[in-house]
Chains A and B, each alone.
Chain A
Amino acid sequence: MIYGDKDLGVIVQNATGKQGAFHTDLMNAYARSVGGRGVVAGVAPGKGGREVHGVPVYNTVREALREHDATASVVFVPGGAAGDSIMEAAHAGLELVVAITEHIPVHDAMKAISYAKLHDCAVIGPNCPGLLSPGECKLGIMPAHLATRGSVGVVSRSGTLTYEVVDELTRAGIGQSTIVGIGGDPVIGQTFVDVLERFADDPETEAVVVIGEVGGNLEEEGVRSAELPVVTYIAGVSAPPEKRMGHAGAIIEGGEGDARSKVQRLCALGVPVASRPSEIPGLIRDLL
């Protein structure tokens, strides 16, 4: 298992919001179905003392930790305030923060992720679907019924595309060890490199599906560092060129952030690259 198992205690930040409350309930339904601990407390400043689907709510992460044993949080706080919530969680001593929030300003993400690192706290996301270890734990919003327990890890920059691939794998009878959505924003906490390292240390994982998209070169960095066999898929080969960030973007990325050249470079590394999601199960089977 990577990041956590049944025993993982979870806090939800902004548990009283629409999405926070809805997914607190779904996460706990999942925890009950697998015999895990799930969400033990919610946090919402100014709303301490309430309950959300039977889960007690506190004003701060610190207060919640005084009453409950938790090491991770899931952040549903809206964009402008999400960076602050990530830092609050790290400061309070949590080891893992999963930030679901989309539209977080990129400067907030940079600062919060950097701050969390000073506190040895790993951040997954922002703008991600979270993490699911089938049969063990779910942190985030992945539709768990698509997944099934097995030996293939999945790590992805895209939320819904992850579900698509998991669905394909399950239909083909290939189970998953852990599924991690790392988010598609320009700055994210855990990258392909970090997640692939954890998969390499996980005795249950035998191969990994790496799902990337246009922009940056994080996929290639990840694949180069991978100790396990990987299959990749890159979305966006037909997409119109991204609005370029001018000279600096081109210099940093060497003009290689587009999906087509990314696919070419991955092929050159000798890695199987699927041309559509439905090819992934076949390529995985060839590896196992």
Chain B
Amino acid sequence: MKLLEYEAKAVFSEYGIPVPKSVLIRTPDEVLPHLAALGDIVVLKAQVDVGGRGKAGGILKVNDAEAADTARDLFARTIKGLPVREILVEERLPITHEYYLSIAIDRSTKGPVILFADAGGVEIENAAREDESAVRKVTLPPLLREVPPFLMRELLGGAPKELAPVINRLYRVFMEKDAMLAEINPLVTTEKGVYAADAKLIIDDNALARQGITVNRDLSAREQEAERHGFSYVELEGSIGVIGNGAGLTMSTLDLIEYYQGSAANFLDVGGGADQERVRHAVQLVAGMPSVKVIVVNLLGGITRCDEVAKGIIAAGVAPTVIVRMAGTNEEEGKHLLAEHGYRMLESMDAAVKAAVEVSS
């Protein structure tokens, strides 16, 4: 789950990373009382979860005379489709230089990778593509608690040594907060010191509970319902409902629908070891979408048992719209149950998808 800027900054601050003075407001009138503490010129930053927020008009520099009016305008706007509900009012820093710093997971080396660039700002991605040497990169064994000095020297190059503590503190944030990504862009130097001018922190969804986060805000209401049942679920535009087990097989079913020129209404992976109840919820969830004309259940039993799945499909009670393809653990029992209840079953994934495309068109 992605934290908003002000939440990420609160975490960074806890770990001793300096952040600009700021206050979070939820109505335009709240801005004025805070200006004395923040300075004559402040930055209003819409707290919405979109990339390219600045270019879309979500970050505005204002002086105290116009602050309340500008805040009112910003609250009335949507930034890339999202309403502005909270604004971070921040002191404006006298910047001498901008850097880029981030820590992510490198799939190849199976450990944290720290990226550092002497130029920060919005164009870093393009800069990295055009010139590989623009971004320095070090990967660490994940059992290390901090960046060893020789790697720190490699990372910093000619950049000021005062940035090193920030890098180590961000590394601690990354490791202790179960982060998928911790990023400061830009990391700025001023005459008074180093600051995280912006902050991004994405927490591993599989670690939300132990990080004390109870609701995954990144999901829509229907997706949250799906998640409560243990599904991974994405809504799409088409008319063929898709239920599979395992992300790969489910994705492959969507690919095959496209191959046969049909269109999928959703992606729903019931997950490993789905029992009767979970399958029933899955079928009912998909059957409840108004766009769905037919549902393909494509299921290969491993840890999931076909007889459990069959019972779940039957319990959902929407037989006419369901085409089933199943194989694997307890396959015969499952097929027998479905046959007793008159379900349409096909032997291969190709045949099942083809049949669904015919029904839907």
Contact = CB atoms under 8 A, between A and B. Distances in A.
A200 interface: no
Given A100-B303, A106-B105, A163-B300, A113 B185 contact: no
A240 B242 CA distance: 14
A66 interface: no
Interface residues of A, number: 69
Contact of A23 (B135, B142, B303, B331): B303
Contacts of B209: 80
Contacts of A60: none
Nearest to A187: B110
Given A19-B303, A102-B271, A160 B244 contact: yes
A17 to B, nearest CB: 11
Contacts of B257: 238
Nearest to B237: A240
A175 interface: no
B300 A251 contact: no
A46 interface: no
B249 A161 contact: yes
Interface string B298-322: 0111110000000000000000000
B165 interface: no
Interface centre among A104, A105, A186, A215 (most CB of B within 10 A): A105
Given A107-B175, A246-B200, A236 B255 contact: yes
Contacts of A23: 303
A282 interface: no
Contacts, number: 193
Interface residues of B, number: 69
Contacts of B113: 248, 252
B206 A238 contact: no
Given A110-B111, A245-B181, A214 B251 contact: yes
* SS of B interface (majority): mixed
Interface in B331-361: 331, 348-350
Given A110-B105, A158-B246, A235-B251, A248 B272 contact: no
Interface centre among B100, B105, B178 (most CB of A within 10 A): B105
B204 A164 contact: no
Contacts of B110: 110, 113-114, 187-189
B167 interface: no
Contacts of A261: none
Given A114-B143, A164-B300, A252-B113, A106 B200 contact: no
B206 A106 contact: yes
A46 B246 CA distance: 32
A216 B247 contact: no
B206 A159 contact: no
B19 interface: no
A265 interface: no
Nearest to B245: A160
A217 B106 CA distance: 11
B124 interface: yes
A252 B350 contact: no
A105 B143 contact: no
A251 B327 contact: no
Interface in B88-130: 100, 102-108, 110-113, 115, 124-125, 128-129
B175 A246 contact: no
Interface string A232-275: 00011111100111111111101100000000000000000001
B183 interface: yes
Contact of B115 (A103, A162, A248): A248
Contacts of A41: none
A247 B264 contact: no
A227 interface: no
25 contacts: A80-B210, A104-B206, A105-B178, A105-B207, A110-B142, A143-B331, A146-B328, A156-B248, A158-B247, A159-B248, A160-B299, A164-B252, A167-B300, A184-B247, A213-B248, A215-B107, A235-B255, A237-B255, A238-B255, A238-B264, A240-B236, A246-B202, A248-B104, A249-B181, A276-B256
Given A160-B249, A160-B300, A278-B350, 9 more contacts: A19-B273, A80-B209, A160-B299, A160-B302, A163-B302, A189-B110, A235-B252, A244-B51, A250-B125
